[in-house]
A and B are shown apart, each in its own frame.
Chain A
């Protein structure tokens, strides 16, 4: 039998891990094809002549003696027009195409290119013959969806003088330009490949400070995130991590959204697939799907591909950033990614660290979030782009002291801690306002205060102080009953309740409540605080608390979150009514 020099043999199979010999010259992270079914795998450790391979598909039926073929390529993704609206598995196999060609269940060895080779795109040049171009320079554009113009860039590491370029209608493989490089001419197509484990380069990183508006009140006003920022959403099961991630994927004002379903439910991906084409982007009025790329490696799909899914997602995100877009990446859940690493590490018999996770858990998590950021892209024109990362974390038993939450908190700048008790009492989003934080708050305050003459941060600080005080008073009430509280304190508890129920509480499934613009968020909080100020004054002047709490205007404030976005003057009216009604009580 002919033995290819790139062909080795399996010596061991243990779950998703295969060990092979005879792969001399094989490199770390090189893709190999394993066994009779030619399953996809990746070299992840080399010890002497033994190559450990994580296999991205079910390994049943593999055994010693079966062939392993080197491909010479690292695990890479295809980048080019056609990414948007796609749904991929963890190693970028197009799930819609697999369903069409192989049926409703994922068969082993199924293989299709990530980008459709038959689809035609119309390339409009931006560069001209004779232009000197560097990596990242934009050669031209393709209108990929109604929302997004896809920039065709000079690939990293290449440069020269444009020799030929012109409008072309063709597939991703069609040559759109010829560049005379230092080592001779080379053609550029609409397709780039990039190894997923290597961050795509930028010219330089910048400090992110522009707010990423999410339309979620507790996030935008209390714990904001910025374009190019990093955030985590840890919480026990059922506390609302996925709903937060979906809400951000829907409403965040990013130009591109990459949603990675990493080891979670199939039905949640279906939910996105069915809903996003119907939902309209508030900024453009176009279907949200037009700006979205989905990576779905659900919990029952192979764990090794789950490990890769996060890298596949972030590489796609970086590619759109390089075009100068603000990209938001959601990863639900990074715990499942960490568990995939743990499983592979265990099979490699590496020395386990905390709770069996590999010792490099922390550095892998840090390196992942580090790929987010706000940056000047490669190429001319000081173009900037951003990748914001929002990772869900699913700690066992809801215990935040476990390794994945802790390693994540060391790197991310925003912590939205989900709380079992809030979820239990159906206060959603169940983000705990006392323990959560955002290190971007100052940056956001600076620009928001400029527009609101300082009221933005002032109102938030006041609201926060009220909530903190409420927590203390609640302790007291538990001991001695509400009757023992002074009237001012009872009024404060009312104000806190209004902040919680009328502002922080936000029903993701109510059409009118699911998204709130920044001016409206500001208005709701303003009205609540104004009511509180007036009521405090009235109380001091002898008004009865009962009467204050019985005011009909409270009902109007409670419904203020449902006021349509195009009717924000209504808030002035509600505020006036509140002032008048309370004032009348003070006599």
Chain B
């Protein structure tokens, strides 16, 4: 054996400690950082682990399925001499996998084209191409006001009890690039969702046929939480394969990233690391970045990876570490609003604090339509003004409002009712969103349309 280089899988029965999801194995030789282990229990079942630290003859192993039922004396640990991998193949489309990429539906096994390390390697910043091509989600508040572009990462910030799961499913069903002849696929990565939600996704995708272009990775709420650490990496590895080797535009939906972060916190606590804010590890930013930065486009290649991470903000608090650090990495955010939800508006997207930072480069003539930017700015400004006027009316009474203010109030109400609100099966092409937008502008005096060029007003404003 060559010194220090693992040449074969080796088995050990030398587990010394078990703490939380971690296991300490001793008496090792040639074990490397990050390698995968199989843990064989006396009842014949098998779990998987990953080496988090090696020191001398000892290794600290994180057990993905948890350590419950493990007794140091009767487990066998087999180190595989390689990092975590996913077998990739075009046949993944239409199929459901668990957090380790094992087939979870009742279809046949996948015969992989090859195996790919799931941690990926960082994209060379020099090789990146700037995201500037429109992706249509069929949701007006996104397409028209917070446009998503290929290669972008645009999260949805939601709260518990809000309909972000339904919205995520709707986007997964409807999303498309409009240029013909370009492949499109969805990788749906669900972490810690309920059985019901999972059923909802799978049946929904089957019912609508969306399943054909979708790869699902599902970890349920009662599945091992530590598996959630592997899941997004599996999903992104599948996405990278489809994007860069099969030339597809891939939309990756990661739901719910808060569950992912909690799994990370659990590991960190078990390792007794110095906790950062709210007990999350200090490296949470870097860890999330290794997921989110896998979105992108590469110069000279056809495929792309676009991400919509979905997360629930504990107590609707945007400064909670999970939304906060996500916001620091992603390129904007879509915010779901509890008030709108209570009012019965679906999808309850709060357009004022929402922002797609890359929208400007993906809209306009040749991409969406010439008047897109102007209309977007006008709708945003008018809605902001209408909402302001409404607040003022609450303090000072309706009497304090001018006629023009009242027109803006009426606009704001109609905007929520007709523009923000749409059916769960309503897939609005961008032209339809633009049409509704212009129609709503008829509610305010023409002289107030200061953000749109006169030529567009003449051309698009209904008379």
Contacts and interface: CB of A to CB of B under 8 A. Distances in A.
Interface of A: 1, 9-15, 19, 35-36, 58-67, 87, 95-96, 98-99, 103-108, 236-238, 261, 263, 265-267, 269-271, 273-274, 296, 298-301, 303, 336, 339, 342-343, 346, 352, 355-356, 394, 396-399, 424-425, 478, 481, 483, 509
B293 A266 contact: yes
A270 B286 contact: no
B27 to A, nearest CB: 12
Contacts of B127: 99, 103-105
Going nearest first, the 6 A-B pairs with the smallest beta carbon separation are: A65-B4, A60-B34, A299-B289, A63-B32, A397-B319, A300-B293
A374 B122 CA distance: 37
Contacts of B54: 12-14, 63-64
A36 B7 CA distance: 13
A96 B126 contact: yes
Contacts of B282: 339, 342-343, 346, 356
At the interface, is chain A mostly helix, strand, loop or mixed? mixed
Which of B30, B55, B119, B352 gathers the greatest number of chain A CB atoms within 10 Å?
A: B55
Given A299-B286, A339-B285, A60 B353 contact: no
A59 B320 CA distance: 31
Nearest to B352: A424
Contacts of A63: 4, 6, 30-33, 35, 54
Given A267-B151, A300-B289, A339-B282, A509 B277 contact: no
A343 B4 contact: no
Contacts of A299: 285-286, 289-290, 293, 329
**Residue among B33, B120, B123 having the largest count of chain A Cβ atoms under 10 Å:** B33
Given A63-B31, A266-B293, A271 B6 contact: no
A170 B30 CA distance: 48
Contacts of B33: 13-15, 59-63
B119 A58 contact: yes
Given A59-B34, A105-B120, A397-B320, 14 more contacts: A19-B55, A63-B31, A65-B30, A66-B3, A104-B298, A237-B324, A237-B328, A238-B355, A266-B296, A269-B126, A300-B122, A339-B282, A346-B282, A396-B319
Looking at B301, B329, B333, which has the most chain A CB atoms within 10 Å of its CB?
Answer: B329
B332 to A, nearest CB: 7
B348 to A, nearest CB: 18
B245 to A, nearest CB: 12
16 contacts: A9-B4, A60-B35, A63-B4, A64-B30, A65-B4, A87-B126, A106-B122, A108-B121, A263-B289, A267-B130, A269-B128, A298-B125, A298-B289, A300-B290, A481-B396, A483-B400
Contacts of B276: 355-356
A238 B327 contact: yes
Interface in B1-20: 3-6
Nearest to B327: A237
B398 interface: no
Interface hub of A12, A95, A104, A336 (most chain B Cβ within 10 A): A104
Contact of B319 (A9, A99, A105, A398): A398
B53 A14 contact: yes
A452 B420 CA distance: 53
B233 interface: no
Contact of B56 (A62, A64, A274): A64
Interface string B13-57: 000000000000000011111110000000000000000111111
Contacts of A62: 32-33
Interface in B337-392: 352-353, 355, 357-358, 360, 384
A64 B5 contact: no
A339 B285 CA distance: 9
B131 interface: yes
B275 interface: yes
Nearest to A272: B125
A236 to B, nearest CB: 8
A67 B2 CA distance: 12
A105 B129 contact: no
A505 to B, nearest CB: 14
A60 B285 contact: no
Nearest to B381: A426
Residue among A12, A65, A103 with max Cβ neighbours from chain B (10 Å): A65
Interface residues of B, number: 72
Contact of A270 (B5, B56, B130, B321): B130
Contacts of B384: 425
B293 A298 contact: yes
A107 B120 CA distance: 10
B6 A58 contact: no
Interface string B307-335: 00000000000011100110111011100
B121 to A, nearest CB: 4
Interface string B69-85: 00000000000000100
A238 B356 CA distance: 10
B293 A265 contact: yes
B301 A104 contact: yes
Given A13-B33, A300-B289, A346-B274, A64 B331 contact: no
B180 interface: no
A265 B331 contact: yes
Contact of A64 (B4, B122, B327, B353): B4
B32 A60 contact: yes
Nearest to B400: A481
Contacts of B325: 396
Contact of A12 (B53, B327, B355): B53
A114 to B, nearest CB: 14
Identify the interface centre among A59, A103, A237, A355: most chain B CB within 10 Å of its CB.
A237
Contacts of B355: 238
A1 B3 contact: yes
Given A59-B33, A299-B293, A398-B319, A509 B360 contact: yes
A562 to B, nearest CB: 14
B179 interface: no
A14 B83 CA distance: 15
B32 A298 contact: no
B294 interface: yes
A11 B53 CA distance: 11
A273 B32 contact: no
Contact of B395 (A15, A394, A398, A481): A481
Nearest to A336: B285
Nearest to B396: A481
A12 B55 CA distance: 4
A63 B5 CA distance: 8
A36 B5 contact: yes
Given A60-B33, A267-B131, A267-B151, A14 B358 contact: no
B91 interface: no
Contacts of B128: 266-267, 269-270
A356 B321 contact: no
A188 B6 CA distance: 47
A547 to B, nearest CB: 17
